[in-house]
Structure 1
Amino acid sequence: MNATELRGKTPDELRTELTNLKKEAFNLRFQAATNQLENTARMRIVKRSIARVNTILNEKAADAAQEA
């Protein structure tokens, strides 16, 4: 998911997406710890997606604070 798609979502949708990504990251870490992880590159993708969602949420919060 790229940043332009994320910017079109509401903050509630972004928080839901963030929760799902964090659950996926936890599951991937668990698989890595038990040597069951097949696609190690997926961990990097999920971490970057979490950072991307957090960045967009912070941008939206800053815009809302600036307008008020």
Structure 2
Amino acid sequence: MARAPKKKTEAKGSAHTAELRANTPDELKDALLDLKKEQFNLRFQRATQQLENPGRVREVRREIARVKTVLGQKAAAK
């Protein structure tokens, strides 16, 4: 049985990425620092087996990548 073709949809994080692009580089650096701290805490919780939401590790990692991407784009635009 043939499957119906999937509809192209906008990426899940694209709306949030647009919000990130509206921020200044200093705000993005602050957000990156906060995310790195959260990532450290999540790793610590995972190591001690106190992590309540394992999916949050992935979300934070991807959010860090988004912020770094936007920072790189802003730096390249100068």
**Pick aligned residue for 2:70 from 43, 49, 56:** 56
CA drift at 1:30: 0.1
C-alpha distance in 2, partners of 1:38/1:12?
31
Unaligned segments of structure 2, at least 5 residues? 1-12
Whose radius of gyration is greater, 1 or 2?
2
Unaligned segments of structure 1, at least 5 residues? none
C-alpha distance in 2, partners of 1:41/1:51?
16
Question: Normalised by the size of structure 2, how large is the TM-score?
Answer: 0.80
CA drift at 1:7: 0.2
- 2:52 corresponding residue in structure 1: 38
Q: Which has the higher contact order (CA 8 A, sep 6+)?
A: 1
Give the root-mean-square deviation of aligned CA atoms: 0.9
